[in-house]
């Protein structure tokens, strides 16, 4: 890919949940595009600090499920041109056995965090009349999945939240979009049984699991001027799984 295409030169980006997996790949791709990247993490400090050093950026610890911590993170990150909400957790289990804590933890970390960080970041973007927000959902938010009512609800909520946000902020030239990964090779999928992985592959027309870099490339595009007339979009990066 040409460095001139989808350039983010001179822009500052904050990526939450960036210490590993998809978040790490997104941070690297935005830096490769020329952005100054702030790597946010809750756990995995050593990994986050190493990534920030590699990218010439900064690593900031925050619990984005907490409104005060999310606000402080955005303030410390400085004037943001780009916000990527990638932080997420799973607490899988059947509905009848799911605890209140597991429900709240997933909804707060995956969905409420988007509200907290966006609320803090858009004030500056509105003043500058410019900004790009990309929220990371999941194919589970579109199709559901056994044992993941909490996760599916949080990821579906991200889609509705982002569409409403796009309508609110469009007049200020702030774009908000969603990337929906399918099954991607991360620490979460590495531990799945072979039968589960085989079922995923059978359902995916391209016949492979995605790489984190596949998702990162889509995020870079949506953050760039090449996507200047795209807002409220839901971009599936799933090998055709969601057709």
- pTM, two decimal places: 0.95
**Would you say residue 81 lies in a domain?**
yes
**Would you say residue 2 lies in a domain?**
no
Find all residues with CB under 8 Å of 113, minimum gap 6, and list them: 16, 64, 65, 70, 85, 87
**Would you say residue 243 lies in a domain?**
no
Burial of 191 (0-12, 13-18, 19+ CB in 10 A): exposed
Range 8-45 burial, b when 16+ CB lie within 10 A, else e: beebbbbbbbbbbbbbbbbbbbbbbbebbbbbbbbebe
Residue-wise pLDDT tens digits, 214-224: 999 999 999 99
Residue-wise pLDDT tens digits, 18-57: 999 999 999 999 999 999 999 999 999 999 999 999 999 9
**Would you say residue 198 lies in a domain?**
yes
Residue-wise pLDDT tens digits, 115-156: 999 999 999 999 999 999 999 999 999 999 999 999 999 999
**Would you say residue 122 lies in a domain?**
yes
Catalytic positions are: 151
Domain that holds residue 30: 12-236
DSSP 209: P
Residue-wise pLDDT tens digits, 59-91: 999 999 999 999 999 999 999 999 999 999 999
* CATH number of the structural domain spanning residue 88: 3.40.50.720
* pLDDT at residue 2 is higher than 60: no
**Would you say residue 242 lies in a domain?**
no
Q: How many domains does the chain have?
A: 1
């Amino acid at each position: 890919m040409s460095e001139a295409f989808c350039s983010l030169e001179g822009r500052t980006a904050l990526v939450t949940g960036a210490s590993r997996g998809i978040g790490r790949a997104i941070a690297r791709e935005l830096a490769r595009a020329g952005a100054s990247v702030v790597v946010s993490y809750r756990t995995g400090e050593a990994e986050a600090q190493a990534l920030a050093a590699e990218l010439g950026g900064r690593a900031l610890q925050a619990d984005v499920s907490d409104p005060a911590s999310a606000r402080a993170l955005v303030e410390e990150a400085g004037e943001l041109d780009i916000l990527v909400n990638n932080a997420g957790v799973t607490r899988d289990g059947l509905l009848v056995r799911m605890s209140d804590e597991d429900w709240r933890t997933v909804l707060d970390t995956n969905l409420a965090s988007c509200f907290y960080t966006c609320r803090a970041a858009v004030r500056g973007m509105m003043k500058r009349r410019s900004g790009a927000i990309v929220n990371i959902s999941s194919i589970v938010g579109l199709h559901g999945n056994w044992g993941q009512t909490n996760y599916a609800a949080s990821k579906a909520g991200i889609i509705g939240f982002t569409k409403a946000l796009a309508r609110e902020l469009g007049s200020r030239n702030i774009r908000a979009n969603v990337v929906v990964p399918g099954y991607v090779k991360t620490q979460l999928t590495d531990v799945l049984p072979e039968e589960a992985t085989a079922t995923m592959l059978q359902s995916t027309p391209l016949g492979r699991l995605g790489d984190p870099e596949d998702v990162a490339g889509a995020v870079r595009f949506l953050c760039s001027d090449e996507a200047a007339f795209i807002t409220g979009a839901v971009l599936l990066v799933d090998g055709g799984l969601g057709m």
